[in-house]
Amino acid sequence: MTKNELMNKLKQQLKRLEQDVLQHDSQLPKTQQKMLLDIERFNRSLFIQSGAKLFPCIEQIAKNIEQLEKQFTFKLAQQTMLYHCQRIQDQFTAVKRALQATPLDIKTAQHKKTIKRKMAVKRHQLAHQESGFSWIASHVMQNSHKLYEELNKHLNWQKKMQYKIDILQSELAHCHESDKITRQNEILLLHRRLGKCRQAITYIEERIQLYERPNKNRNYS
């Protein structure tokens, strides 16, 4: 095969592959592009590329073919020329495999995302169980709307307990001596409950911040 025949063959291969890649890239939804964003799909010795779109590979192959064409003018050793030709063929093969592997890569990325989400939920559930606030339903911790409902519930409890403490303290100043101990015990018990309620309010507010922080960036994982 002459130099011209070889170069024409490589350029024709590239043109056909480019059409397949352009079709592949244009048909990928943005959600799937995000899933494959950080995935390395090639050996670094072949391409510097990551993510879903494969057109950067076409650009790199085109540059390699152009360099090969220039190298013919330098009359390099046959072994060197064969090496460069083989490398270009390896790149063609790798891109074709990547085209076929995209659906599997997407399924793998979806599976990893699901596992990551489940692990995050388990971590939150375990942290909740160990927090000392297990009377708050675990499913509440996974829903911002329910978290706000729970916060409002505790804020109302806090207000009611503080109001009752104020009433009891007012009664304490005017009640009979025999009733003072009872009133003091009631006030002490309410102060304990109030302290626990305030701790729960702080805890829920922290959960809301943790829940909403990733949502502000992109989504909750």
Per-residue pLDDT tens over the stretch 104-129:
888 888 888 888 888 877 777 777 77
Instruction: Report the percentage of the chain scoring pLDDT > 70.
Output: 92
- Is pLDDT of 221 > 50? no
Residues 36-55, mean pLDDT to the nearest whole number:
83
Residues 70-93, mean pLDDT to the nearest whole number:
85
- Describe the crossing of helices 55-71 and 78-129 by its angle, rounded to 10 degrees: 160
pTM for this model (two decimals): 0.56
Q: How far apart are CA 210 and CA 221, in angstroms?
A: 11
Enumerate the domain spans of the chain: 3-115, 131-217
